[in-house]
A = this chain, B = another copy of it.
Amino acid sequence: MSLLTEERNHQVTKVKKGSIVTPKGFAAVGMHTGMKRKRNDLGAIFCDVAADSAAVYTLSKMQAAPLQVTRESLAKEGKLRAVVINSGIANACTGKQGEKDAYAMRGQAAGHFGVPEHQVAVNSTGVIGDFLPMVTITEGIRQLKPVVGSEGADQFCEAILTTDTVTKQTCYQTEISGTPITMGGAAKGSGMIHPNMATMLGFVTTDAKVGHADLQTALREVTDLTFNRITVDGDTSTNDMVLVMASGVAGNDALTPEHPEWSTFVELLRKTCEDLAKMIARDGEGATKLIEAEVRGAKNDEEAGRVARQIVGSDLVKTAMFGKDANWGRIIGAIGQSEAEVNPDHIDIALGSIPVLVNSQSISFSETEASAYLDNDTIHVIVDLHVADGFARAWGCDLTYEYVRINASYRT
């Protein structure tokens, strides 16, 4: 049984109105430079100290230039003072010029904040193939004044959005050996979201003290259970990244996997990332609802994850959910397609608390009740494979006319 299941009570509590600047040591800012029409399009997170940091990146073979630059920064010392990001233009498929621009962005931010270049991470999100307007970026960076107040976090959260309709931020708190530890998160998502770090950005700050390598381990483990469990449209992007910065200002003893409270810290990170991941899925392009697939009884957790992702990734399931149609045949179709081990005669499916399939056979249920349930803005699809005790959750959204409208006219 993984340490990460919710069954253990880790006393991790949500902080209302908390954000990436709630943990001690962090400030943030966002501004409008004109790369996007109206909303903020340039932002930064700044840390008072060199924060131990870790990151995971898109698996796309076409990684954008800024990811290479950020990777290079982190490789040197594993510590960051600042992150700078723009939205509107992704600086992807921009060749040598793109690399040059990403390095310039990093250099200018380092100069402006008075920190070493390798303690700065950069990223960009938006249209692929266009060059960054470096005059605008340069001028913008000079004006970035991070603040500790929540307005700084709000500005930053807006500055990372593309087609997102809402900003996404969260904050959790726990206590480790008597010391309060806070963690905040900000994210963007919307389209091109799929398991394996598709187009999404996540920024997590914490005042816990954790070394770079251990933080990397925890982030990888948690990303697999959260950001890699969401899908909007099955498309992966060139610029995805999740970054964690740990300031250590809380004053706890350094956390390592050997620390008795390590699992509490991992749970804090999991809660933060899961919250952001679900916000991304819910705000998928054109989505009207969040779909959570919970798969029990699989051969192992990995296979359960595969089935759960196949369900939330199926265009047929997604359109059925949009149409409030309790069409479990499409869920069975997705299960069958997942290649996970199944016992074809012993599969149960429920929509929320309404069983629709028992032992792989249709049972009578009220279509009216089912349709009323599917009218909720969060739908739980619960599957029991009765093979072993593998368990997983995955999240997605419905597929709507609006998704088509947005994506048939993204550039125009």
Q: Which residues of A approach B to under 8 Å, CB–CB? A: 59-63, 90, 92-95, 127-130, 191-192, 194, 233-238, 313-316, 319-320, 322-323, 325, 327-330, 332-342, 344-345, 357, 359-362, 399-401, 403-412
Contacts and interface: CB of A to CB of B under 8 A. Distances in A.
Contact of A93 (B92, B94, B357, B411): B357
A323 B238 contact: no
B129 A362 contact: yes
Contacts of A62: 332-333, 335-336, 342, 344
A337 B409 contact: no
A92 B238 contact: no
Contacts of A194: 337
Contacts of A236: 333, 336-337
A235 B316 contact: yes
Given A328-B129, A329-B93, A342-B62, A407 B337 contact: no
A195 to B, nearest CB: 11
A286 to B, nearest CB: 9
Given A130-B362, A325-B412, A399-B404, A235 B319 contact: no
Contacts of A330: 128, 235
Given A342-B62, A404-B322, A192 B335 contact: no
Contacts of A234: 234, 313-315
Contacts of A400: 404
Contact of A408 (B128, B314, B320, B362): B320
A337 B193 CA distance: 12
17 contacts: A59-B337, A60-B337, A61-B336, A61-B342, A62-B335, A63-B336, A93-B360, A128-B328, A128-B333, A191-B316, A233-B316, A234-B313, A235-B333, A319-B403, A319-B406, A325-B408, A327-B410
B329 A235 contact: no
Nearest to A95: B361
Given A62-B344, A235-B316, A315-B315, A333 B192 contact: yes
Given A93-B360, A129-B328, A238-B332, A323 B412 contact: yes
Contacts of A60: 333, 336-337
Contacts of A339: 59, 61
Contacts of A328: 128-129
A295 to B, nearest CB: 14
Contacts of A403: 315, 319, 404
B319 A408 contact: yes
Nearest to A317: B235
Nearest to A90: B329
Given A61-B336, A93-B329, A235-B316, 14 more contacts: A61-B335, A63-B344, A93-B360, A128-B330, A235-B314, A319-B404, A319-B408, A322-B404, A327-B411, A399-B404, A399-B407, A401-B404, A401-B405, A403-B404
A128 B63 CA distance: 41
Contact of A128 (B59, B322, B332): B332
A69 to B, nearest CB: 15
A73 B332 CA distance: 26
Given A329-B128, A336-B60, A339-B61, A315 B362 contact: no
B93 A361 contact: yes
B407 A404 contact: no
Nearest to A334: B235
A284 to B, nearest CB: 11
A359 B98 CA distance: 14
B404 A329 contact: no
